[in-house]
Structure 1
Amino acid sequence: MSALNPSLQLALQRLAQAFEEAIERTQEAAGQLAGSALKAARRDELLLTQALLRQQRSQCLGQFQQNLIQAWNPKSETVAQGRPSNWSELSLLDDTAVDAIVAADRIGKALGHSCEWELREVEAYTGALLGDPEAGPDRNPVRPELIARALLAAVDGMTDQPGLRQTLSEELTRSLSLLMKICYSDLAMQFVQRGLTAQDMRTVSAEGGGRSSSGDGLSTSQAGALGSSQAGAMTAAERQALGGATAAPAPIGARGGLGHVEPVVMDLLRRLHFSAPMLSQASLADASAPAAGNLIHLHREELRQATQTPLDHMVIDVVASLFDAILADPKVPPQMARLIGRLQLPVLRAALGDTSFFAKRSHPVRRFVNRLASLACAFEDFSRDPGLGFLQRVAELVEEIAGGDFERLATYEKQLDALESFIADQGQKLLQAQGQDTAALLERKEAQARQRLQYQKQLEKALGELPLPEFLRRFLSRDWSAVIVHAANQGEQQELMARRQGRDLAVSVLPKGGSAARKDFLTQLPLLVRGVNLGLDNVGTPEALRKQLFADLLPVHAEALKTPALSVLDQNLLIKRIEAAFGLAVPDEAEALRATISLDIDLEQVFAPDEAHQVGLVAEAEVAWTGEVDIDLSAEAAAPLQAVDISIDGLPSAEAPEPTQGAALFEHLQLGCVYRMHTGEGWRKVKLTHISAQRSFFIFTEGEQIAKTVTMTARMLRRLCESERLKAFESAFLLERATARAREQLAALLPAKSGGR
C-alpha cells in the first residue's frame, strides 16, 4: 500500500478527529437515552452500546482510519472506479452484502444531508487531491459514501450482534452527521492554506453524487440560477437568503454541541425561523408594536411529526408553554419580549438536544435568556440612550444566534461574553458622564487600603518585641502606619517626615533621666504633638482617637521623666531597633494585593469626608440597623421559588434557583441588574453599575438620565443582604418564573389524583 500524500493525510486526521468526537457524543447520548427508555430491553441495549464505545474506543477509531486508508489506496477499486452501482449486479451478492450496500448508501445520505455547500467546496479540490484534473465529485476521497463504509467497518469490528450493530451505526450516524458541516468547512480551509487549486464548481447530478442538484433546501430554479463559480463563493448571508442558512466555519476541533437532534428537525427549525417576520429597527423601541407570536404553538403538529420520541413531544409542549409565560411576563418590557421571542426555535433546539437545559441554571442558553430579561428591567426609557443603545446591541446578538449556528454552546457563550462586555462599558460611560472617574478613584482607594493593612501587619510585627506601652504600639502599627502609607504616595520628603515623627513618638516614652534629656524632651514635645496632629489630619483620623492618645501619653511621659535613663549602649541599641522598625519599606500595590487578597478589609477608613461624599459612599453608621424593614415590597411579592417548584415530571431534576434575598444574595449579584435597597426610610430601585476587580467596592446608580451614585464596600453590602435590606428586583429569573407557570399549567391539564390535587 503506497503512502498517502500530505493533503490526504491531513484529511484523514480531520475525519478521524470528527469521528472521535462522534464517539464521545454517542457515548453520552446513549446514557441519556437509556435513562428515558420506556422498555427494559431498549435500556439494556443502550447501556451496552455505551459500554462498548467506552471499552473499544481506540479500536473503533483505528478501524475507521484503516478502512479509509484502504479506500484511498490508488490500487483500490473504490476510488479508481467510483461509478454508480448497477442494481442488476446485486443478484451475484448474498443478502448480507446487499444489506451492507443499502446501509452504506443510507448512512452516506444522512451524513451529507445538511452539509451540501461545504461538501461542494471540498469537491472542488478532488482533482488536486488525486492528481487528476478530470476527477469529478464521484471520486472525491472524503465523500460521505466512503465515510459511511468506514463507519460500518468500525461498527462491524466492535460486535457481531446484529441488534447492537444497528444501534451503534444509527447513533454514530446521528452524532457524526452533526459534525460533517464543520468538518468539511475545516477541510476546505486547510486545502486553501496548503495552496491546493480548486476547480470550478459544477452542478452535482443526483446520479453521480447521490444528491439532488438543488442543494440543501434550494429549489431547482434557484440552483440553476447559480453559476458554477458563484456557488463556490457565496457568502453565509446569501446562502441564508436562499434557504441554506449556513453558518461560518467553526475552528478546527471546536467542541461543545447542544446534543443530538435529527437533521430533518434542524432543517424544519431553520425553515420555520426564517419564515417568521424579522423585527425592523424602526419598531425596535416601540412598546405598542405587535407582540411576538408563539411559533412553537403555531407549528406544533409539524414539529411533533418531525420528532420521534414521547420525550421530544413533551419537550416541545413544555418549551411552548415556557414561551407563553415569557411573552406574557409583566416584568419583561414588551420591547425585550419581542427580541426574546426571536429565540423560540433556538431554545427549542437546545431543549430537544440537551434535556439538562431544564435542570442546569448555569446552562449558557438559560443564562443568555435570563440575562436579557434581567438587564431589560434596569431601563425605564427605550426611546433614547442608554435604553435604546442596549436594545440595538441585544438585537444584533439575538440575530447572530438565530440566523447563525445555534447548534453549539460556544455560540451562546460568545454572545454572553459580548453582552457582559457591553454592559460593563455602558456602566463605565455612565459614571464618566457624571464628570468623575468614580471607578478609578475606588481602585486607588482599595490599593491604598491594602497597602495600609499589609504595612500595618509588618510594622506591628517589628514593634512587637520593643518595650513600648501596649496602647502606643497599637496606635503606631494601626493608625500611624496609615499616615506613613499616605505620605509615601505624596512624595519622598513627606514619607521621611512621617517615619521620623513615628520614631520620635516611640522614643518619647523611653526613660529620660538627667536634666539635659528632660529639657530636650520638653522643648521638642510641642513640635511632636503638632506633627502628629498634622499627620492624623491627612488621613482623617477622628478627634476622639487623638484625645485618647494624648490622654494616655500624659502619665507615660510623666513617668519617663522620673525614671532613670538607660545606659548609653542600651539606649542607642533600643533607638536603633525603633529606627529599623520605621525603616520598613511600604509594600507596593501588587505585593499588598497578593498578601491581603483573602482578608476582609474595612475600606471606609481610606476615604476623607469630601471623597466619601463625592462617590456617594454609604457608611455603616448611616443606616439605622435597629429599625424595622417592611419585607412585603408589593402586592406581587411571592415566596421564593424552590427547586421542586420548577421541576417537571419526565425531565431532569432542577437545581435550586438562585437566591433573590438574604445573605446568599451577595455571592450572586450581577452587573447591570436592578435591586431594591433600603438604607433609609423606604425602598428604592437601584442598578448595579460597577464591581471592582476584587469585589471590594460596588457602585449602584439611581435614576437613568441624571443618575445618582451610591457606593458601598463589600462589608457594608454583605450586611445589607444579611439584614434583607437588599433584594433582587425579580422574584426569580425569567426562565425559573416561566417554568413554574408552565408546571402549574401542565399540572392543571392532568387528571386529578385521588386524595390529592
Structure 2
Amino acid sequence: MQILRDCRMLYLKQLGQLLQEAEPVSARAVQAFQQTVGAYFDEMVSTGRRSSFEDAKGLTASRISLVGESDLELEIRLGEFSAHLMERTGGDLWRVYLRFVTLLDRPDLSTADNPVGPRGIALGLTDLCNELGEGHDQTLERIDRLEDYFAKNLTVLYASLNDFLAGNKVGAAQAAIVTASDSAGASGTPVNTPNPAALLQRQLLGPAGEAALPIAGPAAHLFSQAMLERLLTRLDELDKPARPTPVSNFSPTATSPSLETLIPGLFTAEPAPSATPQPLDSDRLGIPSGAPEAATIDAIARIFEAIFASPTLPDPIKSALASLQIPTLKAAMLDAAFFTTENHPARLLLDKMARAALGLAHEVSARHPLCVDIQAIASRARTEFRNDNQVFNARIGELNALIAGRDKAAELAAEAYLPLLYQLDRRKQAERRARQVIDGYLRPDVPASIVGFLHQHWLKVLVVNWMEGGEQSTDWQENLALIGNLLWSIEPKAEIDDRKRLAKMLPALLQRLNAGMARIGLPEETQGAFLDTCFALQTAAMRATGAPPPVPADQTPAIPAAAKPGVSELSAGHLLLKIIDLSGNQAEASRLRAAVRPGVWLSLTLNGKPPICGRLCQISPESGMLLLANPDWQFALAIHPNILEQMLKAGRAQLSSNESLFNSAAEQALRRTESA
C-alpha cells in the first residue's frame, strides 16, 4: 500500500534527522538505526508480534540464568526507555495509533505494537551502539541521554505522521471499538484501549480500575436509577442562575447552590478580573469519593480545571466553556462510552469552541464579536441540552460556520499583503545575487575589514540597485566595478604607473563610496571609520610596503560566516509586514515538515512576550517564506521556514489548529493526578 510505504519513509527520515540533531553520529550508524527501526515497523505491520525486551517483566529465574547480567540489564533498560517514551508522548502517539488501526484494519492492534511506537526506537538504539562499537556502560549512558531528547521532540514527529495520515484520508478509529490483547493478562479478553480521558477516569477509580466502570448506560453501582435521576435534576438546578444556598451533602431534598455561585461572573457581560471559574467536583455534590460515579464527576472536574488554567485561552472563552461544565458532566453520566469516544458530541463541542477562538488576543474583550457569538452558542447548548446529543451536534454546526468564516477572514487579510511578500521575495533574490557577485571578487588575502564592509554594507547598496534597475542598470554596473577597484587599490604598488593610476582613480572611488553609503543611510561615524581604514590600506599600497597596518578590533566588522536571524519591516500605506528572516551565507530555506502547510493556525512565542496566533495563509514558492495573518492584527507576519522549524522543536511554536482542547486538558489532568 502506497500510503503505508510513504508513511514508513517519512517516519524513518524524520527519526534519522532527530537522532542526528540529538547526537551527531556517523552515517553508517544512522543507517543501522533506521534499518532496525524499519524492520520493526515491517514486523508490526505484518504480524504485530512483540520484540524480546518487551517481555522482560515476565522473566523467570530460569530464564535469567540463560542470559548474561549485562544483557539482562540492557533488556530491562530498553523496556524502561520504551515505557517512558510511551508515557511522555501521550496523546500525539495515541492519535497516530488510532489511524494505524484504521490503515491496517486491525482493531485488535495493541498500543504496545504500534509500528511507530517507542519499542522500535529502543531496538534501533542497540544496533546504533553496536555499529559505533560502544561498550555496555557507554550504551546505557547514550540511552539515558537520548531518552530525554526523544521525549521532548518525538511529539513533533508524531504530529507530523498524524497529519500525513489525515491528509491521505486515513481516519482515526473510534477508541470505544478498538481492542487490544493484554500480554500481561491471562484471559485474553479484549479491553478498551485507553486514551488520556479514560486513563484519568481509571486513575481516579483507584485499584478497582476498569472493573468498577459501568458496562453500559447510566451508572448504577452506588445509585439506583431514581437516585441518578435526582442527581441529574440537581445538576439542572445548579445550571440555573439563582441565589446561593449552602448545601452539605447530596440528598433528594437538598437545596442546591446556583452555577453563578460556583462560577462567579458567568452571567455578567464582562467577567470580573478576579472571578476564576471553579470545577464542580464530587465533594461539592456530596458524592462519596469511593463511588465509581465520583470518578466520572472528578475526571470532568479536573479536565475543566486544566481548561480554566490554560494560559492561552482568553477569559471570555473560558467563561463560555465554564457554562458547559454541567451539560458535559450530564453527558458523561448518561453515556458510559463518553471517555473512550474521541468524537463524542459533548467533547467535540468544547474542541470546536477552542478552535473557533484561535487567534483571539489573551486580553480580548467579551464584547468582541467572535466572543459574543461563542458565548451565544454556549448559552444555547447549555439551555437546550437535556439528554439529547443532537443539541450538541447543532451547536457544533454553528461553530464550524464560525471557524470557516474566521479562516476566510484571515485569508482575505493576507491577500492584501501578497504584493509586500512578492517585494520581500525580490529583495531576497537580490541579496542572493549580490552576495554571489561579492564572493566572486574575494580572495583569502583580502583584509577582514574590507570583507566585512562588502558583506554588511555594500551588499545593501547592490540590493537597492538590483531591485530598482536590475543587473543592466548603470548603478549596478558601476557599484559592482567599484568592488574590483577597491580591492585593487589596497594591493601593493611596486610600479610607478600603478601608483599614478591609483592616485588618479581615488577621487572617483571615494565619491562613489560616499554616494553608496549615503544611499543606504549608513551612519556618518561608520562611514568615517571605514574611509580611515581604506586610507591606511591605500597608503600602505602606495608605499608598496606589503602587509597593511592592523585595523583596531572595534573598527573591524564581523564577517557573516553563517545565517543569522533578524527582524525588519516592509510597509505600504496602512499595511505593515513584520519580517523574521535569516541573513548570511547559509540562509537558504529548508523544507518544513508536512504538517506545516497553508490553513493551519500557528502559535508563536517571540522574545518572551505572550504568544500570538495567526493562520498560515501562504508559503512563497520563491523564498519559502511563510505568511501569517489574523483578522484582528494590524499587521501580517512573514517568517523564514528554518526559524519556524527551530521554534517548533524548541516548543516556542505550536500547531494550534491540530490540538484537541479536551484531550490536552485530560493529559494535563492525568499528569497532575499521577504526580500527586
Which TM-score band (shorter chain)?
A: 0.3 to 0.5
Q: Indicate the structure (1 or 2) with the bigger Cα radius of gyration.
A: 1
TM-score relative to the length of structure 2: 0.38
TM-score relative to the length of structure 1: 0.35
